[in-house]
Structure 1
Amino acid sequence: MALAAAAVALLTVAAVPAQAATAPGPGNDVSWPQCGKALPKGQTFGIVGVNNGLANTTNPCLGTELTWAGTSKGGTGQPLVALYVNTANPGASGSWWPASNTYGGTPVANPYGECSAGSYGAACSYMYGYAKAYDDATIRGVSNPASYLWWLDVETGNSWSSETLANRADLEGMAAYFASIGARAGLYSTRSQWDQIVGAVPSASNLYTLPSWLAGARSLADAKRNCADAALTGGGKVTLTQYVSGGFDYDHSCI
């Protein structure tokens, strides 16, 4: 009888189906609009905006929000904490514009040639982007900037040149600075905004293989489908998609 009972017990255990692994939930991104407000809870990863809406400003809640992001649970292919920065190419309308290929006391190798006072083309746009990335990494209160993935937030709400080449050069300058300190960079936008601001990116550009974070989904289901969309650049891959729900920005990891 004991052997028979043991056999029944084994059959019973074998008949219990294995529990399916729970898929990791979404992450969230926050920035200055969330200052002083309740932040999302239980996020798998957090992405924090470094600026206060403009490329030359600092998010006053950066430290608090980085602490929040550090509580992320993990479980996706995304880093627990990443950063995003506002981008722009204001030209003559900006409060500052470069007049040489030197910034931060260091000469910068500029693939577009020499930036000179009064010029608003690709060479000075490249230097403007480089300078804004330099500032983001050095004066905004980010410790160990090389350890982060930095997303470049490209939106029509900020100031841009009417020349897509100049705008592309601006973003290339930002990517070049982050690469110079050993940090990774990625591109955030929607297809329509990217095409309007930057246009097609040639394979020789340092933007060409950067990952894409696509905005514009209205639900988690939409965000999941958007993982199959074309990346912002021909050599990139969509690794992250964004949707809005309940007043928060949610992010679905495609990897």
Structure 2
Amino acid sequence: MAASMLKMVLSIATALALALAGGSPATAAPPRTSDRVGIDVSWPQCGKILPEGLAFGVVGVNNGLANATNRCLEDQLNWAESTIRHPQATSQPRVALYVNTANPGLAGSWWPTSNFYMGTMVDNPYGNCGGKNDKACAYVYGYAKAYDDAVLRGVDDPEDYFWWLDVETENSWQSDTEANRADLEGMTDYFESIGADVGIYSTGYQWGKIAGAVPSTSNLAGLPSWLAGARTLKGAKSNCSLDGLTPGSTVAVTQYVSNGLDYNYACV
């Protein structure tokens, strides 16, 4: 997912250790495991040789920002589609996608001025977007970013994928948690409108800071949760017992870091 200070430190330490041993972080492969383990990859893994023998994989569509494309998206999707064959039983999709999310408001490089986007009049539950920094325009912004991810980034048959919304404080967000929720609701509505399934990646702290308390009437309620924060497989397994990020949500996947890669454990 988005690079954090912890991941940077771990990655640097791993690279130094490999260099001393005469190895290379681009060619080192972690040991296989009989657990229901996968990885998520995106632009930081461009050019790296990725492991095989995984239960599932998640590929990042963006390059860390909500409005740009992962330059290795095609190659990484090809890797996932050709090497991941469900060697372990899990209910997780064999290959899923994740997208960076944000709500930059008027500070963004683009902000909607109406409910109209790419030939479609968006059915906006928050009313008419008039270009203001409010919930109505935040909803359209989220809808538009999801449209771009599905249509403009180079993903074939986007309706066939499970889409995870990567919600982290490293991206641009408003202090208004209701507007941030509206943004994420817009993204969810677009993906669901094409027949795709949606889930949320975050930590409890980051989610609370960005989205606040989600009402049960929100379309975010009940979406599967993918929890970050563990440092080991054991910790990731333990995190499966935590509460989901929204009302009615269950924890489907948990993440941990190993050998400079983001590994994930399928709770279900």
- Report if TM-score (shorter chain) is over 0.5: yes
Over residues 106-142 of structure 1, what are the superposed CA-to-partner deviations in whole Å (9 max), with x where a residue is unaligned? 111111110002x011100000000000000000000
Aligned residue for 1:65? 76
In structure 1, stretches of 5+ residues that fail to align are 1-21
* Separation of aligned partners in 1, 2:113 and 2:172: 19
Aligned pairs, number: 233
Structure 1 residue ranges, 4+ long, deviating more than 2 angstroms after superposition:
22-25
Aligned residue for 2:219? 206
In structure 1, what residue type is equivalent to 2:243?
A
Which residue of 37, 41, 45 maps to 2:52?
41
Which residue of 226, 230, 254 maps to 2:243?
230
Identical-pair percentage: 64
For the pair shown, the structure with the greater C-alpha radius of gyration is 1
Aligned residue for 1:131? 144
* Separation of aligned partners in 1, 2:90 and 2:108: 39
Aligned residue for 2:172? 159
Q: Please give the secondary structure, in 1, of the residue aligned with 2:252.
A: strand
- Residue correspondence of structure 1 range 22-171 to structure 2 within 5 A: 23-70=34-81, 71-74=83-86, 75-117=89-131, 119-171=132-184
In structure 2, stretches of 5+ residues that fail to align are 1-32
Aligned residue for 2:261? 248
Aligned residue for 2:26? none
* Separation of aligned partners in 2, 1:103 and 1:26: 39
* Separation of aligned partners in 2, 1:86 and 1:248: 18
Q: For the Cα contact (< 8 Å) 1:24–1:76, is it kept in 2?
A: no
Task: Indicate the larger mover: 70-79 or 202-211.
Answer: 70-79
1:104 deviates by 1.2
* Separation of aligned partners in 1, 2:194 and 2:145: 14
1:23 deviates by 4.8
* Separation of aligned partners in 1, 2:111 and 2:126: 16
1:43 deviates by 1.3
* Separation of aligned partners in 1, 2:212 and 2:238: 23
Q: Please give the secondary structure, in 2, of the residue aligned with 1:68.
A: helix
* Separation of aligned partners in 2, 1:41 and 1:249: 14
Q: For the Cα contact (< 8 Å) 1:50–1:59, is it kept in 2?
A: yes
